[in-house]
Amino acid sequence: MVYLRRFRFKVEYDGGNYSGWQVQDNAPTVQGEIEKALREFNDGKLIRIHGSGRTDTGVHAFGQVAHFDFDTELQPIVFEKAINAKTPVDIFVYDCEEVDSGFHSRFGAKKRTYIYQITTKYSPMMRNYHWHVKWDIDFDLLQKCAKLIEGEHNFESFCRTADQADSKVCFIYNSTWKKDGNLLTYRVAGTRFLHSMVRMLVGTMMEVARGKLSIEKFKELLNTIQIDESRYTAPAQGLFLAKVEYKNET
């Protein structure tokens, strides 16, 4: 008799070498590398893992969450150690545990938090994890744009046209910028995020802050569906999936 146990784990990764999280046929992905490591437990056959959501090519994560089902008597720590031994050094699995079969890493998530990092001073050490901008930035305008994002909106103006989500409505719990010397950090938490949504929001906010776009136009994009060239997509390397929170968890 097959008795499937469900295992949940978190993943930290540097996305620079991967074509995103989701497995693809002809490109390296984070999901693909972890599934490759798990094959040794299943006679070379696939054990499918399910992530809390996709991250785009080049995007990083501190706290991606995933789960898989497997008929085994092994303890979670065995999977954790084996995955880390078999995956490249830019992927690290931690906090592996057995969970109830009702848990789902994607559909059970109630809040996802992303951060985006910008530097106004070039550094070769930061180039893979920050967007270097050369413009004069009005920080107050950035913060005003961020606060406009909070609440419920249809974000169709801020996602890739290929996004197949049935609804483009998302609720944003908080959206704020922090400035520390040459570093700017944007933190946003919401129920869900569409394809490239955070990068488009950051890029378009920066267009306002550098004087290339009015804040009135930004409001218009938030309140009406417009797919036009006033949107700007920030580079992938500054974006991190920071945290995923679940129902009945604090």
pLDDT at 228 > cutoff 90: no
What confidence tens digit (pLDDT) does each residue in 51-105 have?
A: 999 999 999 999 999 999 999 999 999 999 999 999 999 999 999 999 999 999 9
Given 56, 69, 100, 163, the catalytic residue: 56
State the chain's mean pLDDT as an integer: 93
Contacts of range 80-88, beta carbons closer than 8 Å, 24 or more positions apart: 80/9, 82/37, 82/38, 82/40, 82/41, 83/9, 83/34, 83/37, 83/38, 85/37, 86/36, 86/37, 86/40, 87/33, 87/34, 87/36, 87/37, 88/17, 88/33
Q: Model confidence at 178, in pLDDT bands (50, 70, 90)?
A: very high
43 among known catalytic residues: no
Answer whether residue 195 shows pLDDT above 70.
yes
The token pair that represents 187 in the structure block: 């933190």
**Domains of the chain by start residue, with CATH:** 5-99 (3.30.70.580), 110-246 (3.30.70.660)
Average pLDDT over residues 231-249: 92
